[in-house]
């Protein structure tokens, strides 16, 4: 057995597709397919079922993932463990968050953070554009990162976790679109409008579930898991769409049609590896995120544009 084939197998299992695994590993899909086929030949077992939506693990594949996951998780954590071994507030922390929160919430608060922690290197990576920005399909929600702020409650992994807030959604459209087509006053009025929706395979949480109902009697012009893409499509007059209030309320070209009282929202969860959470520089990033969410709570909940100063609360391990 070529042990490197196992790396290709885990990449396909995590991404759910050959192309996604190829992008992750920096190779083409033919190479990925060849390496997986080689592993299946060595093991004498079929590891994936090819489906319309991608590659699904077989029972044998699930068994192999279960055996490999602890080893893979530990190996992927080694570089971060060494980077995190510095003393005091110096060091490097790798943070994952959704694109929606990266700029208006995290980057907006960085000047004060940098002033307080000049020797701390913060690396921010954005999650895939799905609404939940959740965990990979296999493995820990903190794979390849030290701290994460995600719109989904984690269900696996050895970690400290805490709900820190809520991200509300509203239904928005460009002002020019509404001036031409009229402003719907109730849900039944949406039958006269075009809609920009979520992908059909998106997890049916909060606004996704609401939009699936709203679309039943409307014409869907476009679908995307990316809030930025839906927002741009709405600016171009393609219809009404669900957007996080913190993103759309600050755009003077949008008008809110319905608010969070109808569309709902998503919970925001802070996660950190238990073995790193007590290190000073990791703790500093966690406290920074908790404070940032509190300061922008009214914007996150779609209540106003004001930023409210609130003292941070201590984190508790679960």
Q: 4-77, what's its fold?
A: Arc Repressor Mutant, subunit A (1.10.10)
pLDDT number for residue 87: 47
Are 237 and 280 in contact by the 8 Å Cβ rule? The answer is no
Structure tokens, 178: 């509404």
Please provide residue 70's backbone torsions phi and psi, each rounded to the nearest 5 degrees: -60, -40
Q: 84-318, what's its fold?
A: D-Maltodextrin-Binding Protein; domain 2 (3.40.190)
Tokens 């219809």 belong to residue:
239
311 Cβ contact list (under 8 Å, min separation 6): none
pLDDT number for residue 137: 45
Are 272 and 159 in contact by the 8 Å Cβ rule? The answer is yes
Tens-digit pLDDT profile for residues 212-233: 999 998 999 999 999 999 999 9
Bridge-based pairing of strands 219-223 and 159-174 is unpaired
Report, as ranges of residue numbers, the positions in the chain whose pLDDT lies below 70.
Answer: 70-90, 128-141, 143, 155-158, 304-318
Residue 87: exposed, middle, or buried by beta-carbon count in 10 A (0-12, 13-18, 19+)? exposed
Are 234 and 173 in contact by the 8 Å Cβ rule? The answer is yes
Segments making up each domain of the chain, as ranges: 4-77, 84-318
Distance CA 219, CA 238 (A): 10
Question: Quick one: three-class SS letters along the chain?
Answer: CCCHHHHHHHHHHHHCCHHHHHHHHCCCHHHHHHHHHHHHHHHCCCCEEEECCEEEECHHHHHHHHHHHHHHHHHHHHHHHHHCCCCCCCEEEEEEECHHHHHHHHHHHHHHHHHHCCCEEEEEEECCCCCCCCCCCCCCCCCCCCEEEECCCCCCCCEEEEEEEEEEEEEEEEHHHHHHHCCCCCHHHHHHCEEEECCCCCCCCHHHHHHHHHHHHCEEEEECCCHHHHHHHHHCCCCEEEEEHHHHCCCCCEEEEECHHHHCEEEEEEEEECCCCCCHHHHHHHHHHHHHHHHCHHHHCCCCCCCCCCCCCCCCCC
Conformation bin of residue 51: beta by default, left when phi > 0, alpha when psi is -120 to 50: beta
Bridge-based pairing of strands 265-273 and 147-150 is antiparallel
pLDDT number for residue 129: 60
Tens-digit pLDDT profile for residues 5-62: 888 988 898 888 898 888 888 899 999 999 999 999 989 999 999 887 789 899 998 8
How far, rounded to the nearest angstrom, does the alpha carbon of residue 109 sit from its chain's CA centroid?
Answer: 20
pLDDT number for residue 136: 43
């Amino acid at each position: 057995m070529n042990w490197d084939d196992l790396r290709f197998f885990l990449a396909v299992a995590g991404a759910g597709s050959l192309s996604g695994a190829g992008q992750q590993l920096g190779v083409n899909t033919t190479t990925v397919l060849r390496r997986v086929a080689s592993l299946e030949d060595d093991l004498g077992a079929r590891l994936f079922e090819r489906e319309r939506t991608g590659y699904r693990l077989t029972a044998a594949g699930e068994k192999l993932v279960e055996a490999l996951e602890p080893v893979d998780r530990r190996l992927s954590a080694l570089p971060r463990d060494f980077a995190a071994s510095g003393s005091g507030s110096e060091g490097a922390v790798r943070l994952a968050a959704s694109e929606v929160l990266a700029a208006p919430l995290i980057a907006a608060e960085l000047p004060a953070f940098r002033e307080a922690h000049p020797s701390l290197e913060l690396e921010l990576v954005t999650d895939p554009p799905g609404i939940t920005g959740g965990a990979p399909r296999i493995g820990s929600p903190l794979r390849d990162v030290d701290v994460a702020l995600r719109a989904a409650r984690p269900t696996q992994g050895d970690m400290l976790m805490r709900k820190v807030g809520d991200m509300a959604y509203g239904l928005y459209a460009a002002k020019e679109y509404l001036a031409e087509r009229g402003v719907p006053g109730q849900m039944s009025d949406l039958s006269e409008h075009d809609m920009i929706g979520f992908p059909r395979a998106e997890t049916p949480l909060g606004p996704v579930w609401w939009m699936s109902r709203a679309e039943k009697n409307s014409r869907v012009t476009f679908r995307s898991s990316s809030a930025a893409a839906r927002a741009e499509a709405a600016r171009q007059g393609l219809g009404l769409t669900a957007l996080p209030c913190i993103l759309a309320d600050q755009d003077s070209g949008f008008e809110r049609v319905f608010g969070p009282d109808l569309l709902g929202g998503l919970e925001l969860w802070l996660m950190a590896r238990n073995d790193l959470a007590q290190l000073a520089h990791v703790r500093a990033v966690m406290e920074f995120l908790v404070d940032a969410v509190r300061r922008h709570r009214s914007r996150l909940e779609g209540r106003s544009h004001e930023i409210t100063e609130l003292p941070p609360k201590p984190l508790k391990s679960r």
